[in-house]
Amino acid sequence: MAGIRSAHCRHRRDAPFTVIAGQIGKSFAAEVYGIDLWQKLAPDDIQELKTILDRYPVAVVRHDTPLTDEEHISFSRLLGPVESKPVLTTSGSGKNRIPHFEIIDQSNLDETGGIYADDDRRLAFKRANRLWHTDMSFHSNRATWSLLSAHALPSDGGPPTEFANMRAAYKALPEDMKRKIGRLTAEHSYWYSRVAGGGPPATAEELASRPPARHPLVHERGGRKALYVASHASHIVEWPEEDGRALLDELLAFATQPQFIYAHQWQVGDVVIWDNLATMHRARPFDDRNQIRDVRRTTCREADPAEAS
């Protein structure tokens, strides 16, 4: 396996890239070598990267310094339609710190660049990201790829982000469970998971900004099946609420056993790309009242019918 090139020399290369991936341990994640995400990529490079991403649902690209927001957005568009509208409204919040709707600010910083006040609703809602979830499962157009870029981290590097392999989890399910869930649908609500994570109840304004969405419990692509559950999933549409909740809890516990987990330890400049239709993930706690953690996400999503035509 070739070594990774020195990153962020910030000059354009005329020579072609050689994109390769090295599996991280025995996990379903890979570190991608030989690619600089701020560079203009040739069609063959993009296709090779997509082939790697199809094999490894979590991919790590390391750089010495973070991508700019513009570079982050530009690269993300190579993978598919990028969500470019506000996903939801948080009542009583200030302006967005980052002036690009494509960038979802996953930091603990307000619009002044300071750490959130104790009573800021955004802080409480972001802490709910410590629950296992899949990005934008509460959206009718599900997230495909997420791309998270590390700009600043706590002094000790901060906590890892954990990923669960939902293809492997589905494959390991007993056959009777596969039959049971094969035609079931879950309803996903952002506000359900925020309350489950210790946040305040949603306001009427918040509820109206992002209604729930329904998706099958099993996702299939290219002949491979994956569980599609997350903390956003509030109930099973076809079942009584209590029974459906118990099933979701059972599936969530099964899919997050240690053998299905990869924990990514962050470095500034890292970009981690993951397949939301094949994984779940969660943030881990840190001292968010005193330490800065500035990570920023773009989200590719399923195309609207008009975009796909």
251's tokens = 């599936």
Q: Tell me what pLDDT residue 210 has.
A: 86
Please, which residues bridge with residue 218 across strands? Answer: 227
Least confident range from 125-129, 173-177, 197-201, 249-253: namely 197-201
| Neighbouring C-alpha atoms within 13 Å toward the C-beta of 231 | 23
Average pLDDT over residues 81-89: 79
Looking at this protein, which amino acid is placed at residue 134? T
Looking at this protein, which amino acid is placed at residue 20? I
Residue 8: which of 276, 271, 224 has the closest Cα?
271
| Neighbouring C-alpha atoms within 13 Å toward the C-beta of 285 | 4
CA distance linking residue 162 with residue 105, whole number of Å: 19
The full DSSP string for 160-229 is PEEEEEHHHHHHHS-HHHHHHHTT-EEEE-HHHHHHHTTPPPPPHHHHHHS--EEEESEEEETTEEEE--
Q: What pTM did the predictor assign?
A: 0.90
Q: Work out the pLDDT band at 147, boundaries 50, 70, 90.
A: very high
Average pLDDT over residues 139-163: 96
Q: Tell me what pLDDT residue 35 has.
A: 84
Average pLDDT over residues 11-21: 57
Q: What percent of the chain has pLDDT over 70?
A: 90
pLDDT tens for each residue of 33-65: 888 888 888 888 888 889 999 999 999 999 999
Domain boundaries, the chain: 23-308
Least confident range from 80-84, 118-122, 155-159, 305-309: namely 305-309
Distances (CA, A) of 192 to 59, 118, 175, 196: 29, 21, 30, 6
pLDDT tens for each residue of 89-102: 676 566 788 999 99
Residue 21 has pLDDT above 90, yes or no: no
The full DSSP string for 78-104 is TTSPBP-S-----TT----SSS-TT-E
The single residue listed with the structure tokens 């029974």 is 243
pLDDT tens for each residue of 190-228: 989 988 888 888 889 888 888 999 999 999 999 999 999
Q: Tell me what pLDDT residue 8 has.
A: 36
Q: Work out the pLDDT band at 307, boundaries 50, 70, 90.
A: low
CA distance linking residue 104 with residue 277, whole number of Å: 19
Mean pLDDT across the chain, nearest whole number?
A: 89
Domain 23-308 has CATH 3.30.70.3040: no
The DSSP element (H or E) to which 308 belongs, if any, is helix 305-308
17's tokens = 């890239």
Residue 212: which of 241, 186, 246 has the closest Cα?
186
pLDDT greater at residue 42 or residue 118: 118
